[in-house]
């Protein structure tokens, strides 16, 4: 009997999981949630739907800054998820995304859990950006690709040639959906209503109301208008989780019930996604996503740059803001040399699940390396990275350039002055 | 809580001294170092998953038999589910021992938790010291950080979010108009909570 293949995109906010024959993946929250009103249980992964009252949720997340750091929490979440899908691990193999195979930073412990604890037969590791790039190379026959992954923990831009990562071109911006939601909570809590504990509700509010402005200065002028002429200001009626379960967007001119709590957003609607394009707006000393695309292309060999600019693919949940693609295209166009063509791909229907679908087509149509239990017992860590982390420049060629003092980012030591 | 303690009756000299000190305190400003520390704390707050305490931190699942070793995530319902699963399979495969080993009290986790950057640096050192180092994995996280933007940073009012031209002379926050300045002075300027 042939093995069942499971494709598992382990995102920081939602996991995208499904078998290779599925029509579309399931979206399962990658967190354990505790509620104030429910003292007798916690809600693991998809059980979050059973939580009736989503005020003041407390999240226990395994992933921090894009990497799994709490492996026992992650194991419990995976156990609950595999159990709900009725996965028989002994006759299955799994393709798992992990950001260590885009930017290696932490030890990868997942194989031990997948082989020893769950009993899978074979494992394939990759990252979401690599799946998209290899799909573009093998299915769409594009030689070069730039993948912009704007997710929950961060935003990365990486360039690939023939599906292989050009490691110098990887740019990491420490702004993702989590930072945007936290910043929106800060702003609303200071300006209107204390929502600092309402992560779930404000995250939904961000998804419903925020948009990327195509002309920031004009939007700022519009937001300064008086009440009657202001078309940016909207009112968001908070859900009460008895009769309403998701907030309602209304115009501020419509009458509303003062008993129901609500917030009105004006400047915040476009200033929140603007942080992705200008992190310096909130004092993060990094460039935005459009400048990162230019920087990534410029770090590649000269001959590849025109082809890279012709194939830019945007994925990730934080790129779902309306207008994100158009704004990125316009800004990158203004910074590219005039003789380069530019094409931001239109094929991404759902940026959240696009990498899963790319993995599905890739694993169906072409061969990828798998490692089994016996191979992993012999060589383990080095085998994984030599098989799954494919870069244009090999490790031996970097021997003289990597030493421990070569750090571009230095964490500042905090000396308390208060 | 932060009010200065009430002083006893004072002589004329002491009155002049305390009057001068209180005048000086009103003019205290944050220097660049303190402003940078405050910004770093605010940026670290963006990485927090929660801004409030664990609502289950002080729960006792069973008063008769308090459990200090097991992490009770999952609770009794998860235990029942596990029992059903074990009965179905009939063989445990050492799951209990492994689960107990992996589960640890959250208190210890939080207390001895290293920062993320310390984890990354430690891993880079470990790869360099290994028998066959993979140089692609050394410092990859630090090297991939985005460079600073070539455009100058824009300034926004901390109170209302509009483009701002003015800056608080004490703490460095931006404001756009006199009403916003007054709100800032009343609520956040030199306040410990900010």
Q: Please write the tens of the pLDDT for every residue from B91-118.
A: 444 444 444 444 545 444 554 556 777 7
Name the token pair of A241: 């989780």
Q: Do A267 and B135 touch (CB under 8 A)?
A: no
Could you report the per-residue pLDDT of A209-230, keeping only the tens digit for each? Answer: 888 888 787 777 777 665 666 7
Over residues A97-103, mean pLDDT: 80
pLDDT value at position A351?
83
Determine contact: B194 vs chain A, CB below 8 A.
no
Beta bridge partners of A292: none
Is residue A71 predicted with pLDDT exceeding 80? Answer: yes
Give the C-alpha separation, A218 to A369, whole Å. Answer: 51
Name the token pair of A232: 């940016």
If DSSP codes are grouped into helix, strand and coil, which group holds residue A231? coil
Domain residue spans in chain A? 4-126+352-395, 129-174+286-349, 177-276
Considering only CB atoms, which chain A residues are within 8 Å of B77? Answer: 40-41
Domain A177-276 carries which CATH code?
Answer: 3.90.640.10
Over residues B69-91, mean pLDDT: 49
CB B120 within 8 A of CB A105: yes
Band of residue B1 on the pLDDT scale cut at 50, 70, 90: very low
Over residues A15-21, mean pLDDT: 83
Q: Do B73 and A76 touch (CB under 8 A)?
A: yes
pLDDT value at position B192?
44
Q: Do A42 and B56 touch (CB under 8 A)?
A: yes
CATH top class, domain A129-174+286-349:
alpha beta
Considering only CB atoms, which chain A residues are within 8 Å of B161? Answer: 187, 191, 266-268, 271
Q: Do B116 and A174 touch (CB under 8 A)?
A: no
Give the C-alpha separation, B18 to B193, whole Å. Answer: 26
Give the C-alpha separation, A19 to A10, whole Å. Answer: 14
Over residues A43-70, mean pLDDT: 77
Band of residue B73 on the pLDDT scale cut at 50, 70, 90: low
What part of B 12-41 touches A (C-beta under 8 Å)? 30-31, 33-34, 36-37, 39-40
Over residues A329-354, mean pLDDT: 79
Band of residue B65 on the pLDDT scale cut at 50, 70, 90: low
CA distance A46 to chain B (A): 13
Band of residue A170 on the pLDDT scale cut at 50, 70, 90: confident
CATH topology of domain A4-126+352-395: Nucleotidyltransferase; domain 5 (3.30.420)
Residue pairs spanning A and B at CB distance below 8 A: 229
What part of B 117-136 touches A (C-beta under 8 Å)? 117, 119-120, 123-126, 128, 132-136
If you search the block for the tokens 């992650």, which residue do you land on? A74
CB A280 within 8 A of CB A93: no
pLDDT value at position A385?
65
Determine contact: B137 vs chain A, CB below 8 A.
yes
pLDDT value at position B67?
52
pLDDT value at position A31?
86
Give the C-alpha separation, A200 to A208, whole Å. Answer: 13
Range with lowest mean pLDDT among A329-338, A369-378, B61-70, B148-157 = B61-70
CA distance B53 to chain A (A): 8
Which CA distances in Å does B143 have to A167, A169, B140? 10, 10, 5
Which of these, A292, A19, A178, A162, lies nearest to B49 by C-alpha position?
Answer: A178
Kindly report the number of other CB atoms within 10 A of residue A373's CB atom. 16
CB A15 within 8 A of CB A27: yes
Q: Fold match between A129-174+286-349 and A177-276?
A: no
Maximum mean pLDDT: which of A27-31, A141-145, A193-197, A245-249? A27-31
Considering only CB atoms, which chain A residues are within 8 Å of B139? Answer: 402, 404, 406-407
pLDDT value at position A110?
81
Beta bridge partners of A391: A165
DSSP code at position A121: S
Could you report the per-residue pLDDT of A121-149, keeping only the tens digit for each? Answer: 888 888 888 888 888 777 777 778 888 88
Range with lowest mean pLDDT among A60-74, A228-242, B102-116 = B102-116
CB A43 within 8 A of CB A50: yes
CA distance B178 to chain A (A): 16
Range with lowest mean pLDDT among A217-221, A232-236, A383-387, A396-400 = A396-400
**Burial bucket for residue A321 (CB in 10 Å: 0-12, 13-18, 19+):** buried
Q: Do A178 and B49 touch (CB under 8 A)?
A: yes
Maximum mean pLDDT: which of A44-48, A231-235, A319-323, B97-101? A319-323
pLDDT value at position A342?
79
Q: Do B140 and A396 touch (CB under 8 A)?
A: no
CB A354 within 8 A of CB A132: yes
Considering only CB atoms, which chain A residues are within 8 Å of B52? Answer: 56, 58, 196-197
Band of residue A409 on the pLDDT scale cut at 50, 70, 90: very low
Q: Do B138 and A402 touch (CB under 8 A)?
A: yes
Over residues A320-342, mean pLDDT: 83
Considering only CB atoms, which chain B residues are within 8 Å of A60? Answer: 49, 73
CA distance B12 to chain A (A): 31
Considering only CB atoms, which chain A residues are within 8 Å of B104? Answer: 72
CB A273 within 8 A of CB A211: yes
pLDDT value at position A412?
44
CB A165 within 8 A of CB A144: no
Alpha helices (runs of H) in A192-343, residue ranges in sequence order = 199-209, 216-223, 268-277, 289-298, 305-309, 324-335
If DSSP codes are grouped into helix, strand and coil, which group holds residue B132? coil
């Amino acid at each position: 009997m042939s093995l069942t293949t499971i494709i598992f995109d382990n995102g920081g906010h939602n996991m995208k999981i499904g078998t290779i024959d599925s029509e579309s993946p399931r979206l399962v929250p990658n967190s354990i949630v505790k509620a104030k009103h429910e003292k007798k249980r916690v809600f693991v992964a998809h059980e979050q739907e059973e939580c009736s009252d989503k005020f003041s949720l407390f999240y226990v997340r395994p992933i921090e800054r894009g990497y799994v750091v709490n492996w026992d929490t992650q194991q419990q979440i995976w156990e609950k998820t595999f159990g709900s899908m009725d996965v028989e691990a002994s006759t299955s193999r799994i393709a798992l995304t992990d950001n260590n195979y885009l930017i290696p930073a932490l030890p990868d412990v997942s194989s031990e859990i997948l082989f020893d604890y769950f009993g899978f037969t074979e494992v394939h590791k990759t990252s979401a950006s690599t799946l998209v790039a290899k799909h573009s190379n093998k299915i769409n026959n594009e030689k070069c690709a730039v993948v912009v992954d704007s997710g929950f923990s961060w935003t990365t831009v990486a360039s690939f040639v023939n599906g292989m990562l050009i490691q110098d071109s990887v740019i990491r911006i420490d702004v993702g959906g989590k930072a945007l939601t936290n910043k929106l909570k800060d702003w609303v809590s200071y300006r209107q209503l204390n929502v600092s504990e309402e992560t779930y509700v404000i995250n939904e509010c961000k998804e419903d109301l925020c948009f990327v402005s195509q002309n920031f200065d004009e939007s700022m002028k519009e937001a300064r208008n008086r009440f009657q002429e202001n078309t940016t200001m909207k009112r968001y009626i908070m859900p009460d989780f008895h009769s309403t379960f998701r907030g309602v967007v209304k115009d501020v001119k419509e009458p509303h019930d003062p008993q129901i709590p609500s917030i009105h957003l004006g400047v915040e609607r476009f200033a929140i996604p603007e942080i992705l394009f200008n992190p310096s707006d909130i004092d993060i000393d990094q460039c935005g996503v459009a400048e990162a695309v230019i920087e990534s292309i410029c770090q590649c060999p000269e001959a590849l740059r025109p082809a890279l600019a012709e194939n830019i693919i945007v994925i990730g949940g934080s790129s779902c803001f309306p207008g994100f693609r158009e704004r990125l295209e316009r800004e990158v166009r203004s910074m590219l040399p005039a003789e380069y063509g530019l094409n931001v791909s239109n094929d991404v229907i759902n940026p959240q699940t696009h990498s899963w679908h790319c993995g599905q087509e890739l694993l169906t149509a072409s061969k990828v390396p798998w490692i089994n239990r016996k191979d992993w017992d012999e060589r383990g860590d080095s085998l994984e990275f030599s098989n799954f982390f494919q870069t244009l420049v090999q490790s031996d060629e970097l021997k003289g350039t990597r030493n421990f003092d070569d750090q571009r980012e230095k964490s500042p030591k905090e000396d308390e002055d208060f | 809580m932060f009010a200065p303690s009430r002083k006893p009756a004072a002589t004329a000299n002491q009155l002049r001294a305390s009057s001068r000190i209180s005048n000086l305190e009103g003019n205290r400003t944050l220097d660049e170092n303190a402003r940078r520390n405050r910004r770093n704390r605010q940026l670290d707050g963006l990485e927090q998953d929660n801004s409030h305490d664990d609502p289950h931190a002080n729960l006792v699942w069973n008063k008769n038999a308090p459990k200090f070793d097991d992490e009770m995530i999952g609770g009794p319902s998860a235990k029942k589910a596990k029992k059903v699963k074990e009965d179905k399979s009939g063989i445990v495969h050492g799951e209990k021992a492994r689960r107990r080993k992996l589960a640890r009290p959250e208190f210890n986790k939080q207390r001895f938790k290293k920062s993320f950057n310390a984890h990354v640096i430690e891993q880079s050192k470990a790869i360099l010291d290994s028998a066959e180092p993979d140089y692609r994995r050394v410092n990859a996280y630090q090297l991939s950080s985005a460079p600073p933007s070539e455009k100058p940073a824009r300034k926004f009012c901390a109170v209302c979010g509009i483009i701002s031209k003015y800056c608080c002379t004490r703490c460095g926050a931006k404001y756009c108009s006199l009403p916003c300045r007054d709100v800032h002075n009343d609520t956040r300027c030199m306040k410990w909570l900010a």
